Amino acid sequence: MQTPRRYHHGDLRAALLAGAEDTLREKGPAALSLRELARDLGVSHAAPSRHFKDKQALLDALALVGFDRISRTMTTALEEAGESFADRLAAGARSYVDFAVANAELLDLMYSIKHTPEASEELGAASQRWTEQMMNLIVEGQRSGEVREGPLERVGIGVFSTLHGYATLAASDSLPEEMRGQDLDELVAYILRGCAPEA
């Protein structure tokens, strides 16, 4: 199913990440085996340890890939969006939900509890960058007067929670039947009401 052997000219690390993501997507996290990965890539089972000290280290690196990917996706989505907060929010919501559905297992990994205890500096930083990107949207809205004033805890957390919750539920197929595969307009409208200036 893959080029017989020797196909990685020194890019075993990248090949491992790509292979791990594939099996994660296709067979779930429980099926991910370092030895099988090595076999498929035509290297010895001990080779991966040169690039990832641990199975967990591979998973952490994969989560990092996820954060980078959603950040990038979001950035280009926002570049193509209009100027109003409503437009930008809608674009952001769309891209997050799309990412979540297309990368359900990765999203699960990104927010599984494991890597909280300072698993990797890089991972924490990437997660924070992504969160701040969402918060920026709110700050923009506040500057243009479309979002109520106040510290970010006041409304930013609400918006982020709503988007993350919806994305998560959609990804894990946990939305009630009546609400599946619906477009996001109603959700965005609900969020906008939550954000609306005071009077």
Q: Which residue type occupies 26?
A: E
Task: Print the SS3 string covering 101-145.
Answer: HHCHHHHHHHCCCCCCCCCCHHHHHHHHHHHHHHHHHHHHHHHCC
Tell me the closest approach of the beta carbon of residue 130 to DNA, in angstroms: 27
Contact pattern from residue 77 through residue 116 relative to its own copies, giving x for each residue in contact according to CB under 8 A and a dash for the rest: ---------------------------xx--x--xxxx-x
Give the Cα separation of 91 and 96 in Å (integer).
9
Does the protein bind DNA through residue 17 (CB under 7 A)?
no
Does the protein bind DNA through residue 53 (CB under 7 A)?
yes
Does the protein bind DNA through residue 4 (CB under 7 A)?
no
Count of chain residues binding its own copies (CB under 8 A): 50
Give the one entry of its own copies, DNA, none that residue 143 binds, where binding means its C-beta sits below a cut-off of 5 to 8 angstroms depending on kind: none
Count Cβ atoms below 10 Å from residue 131 Cβ, excluding itself. Answer: 15
Nearer to its own copies, 8 or 148 (CB): 148
Nearer to DNA, 1 or 199 (CB): 1
Q: Tokens representing 59?
A: 């998973």
Contact pattern from residue 53 through residue 72 relative to its own copies, giving x for each residue in contact according to CB under 8 A and a dash for the rest: ---x----------------
DSSP state of 50: G
User: 24-31, long-range: CB within 8 Å, 24+ apart, which pairs?
Assistant: 24/62, 24/105, 24/106, 24/109, 25/103, 25/105, 25/106, 28/105, 29/105, 29/108, 29/109
Residues engaged in binding its own copies (CB under 8 A): 28, 30, 56, 104-105, 108, 111-114, 116, 127-128, 131-132, 135, 151-158, 160-166, 168-169, 171-176, 178-179, 182, 186-187, 190-191, 193-196
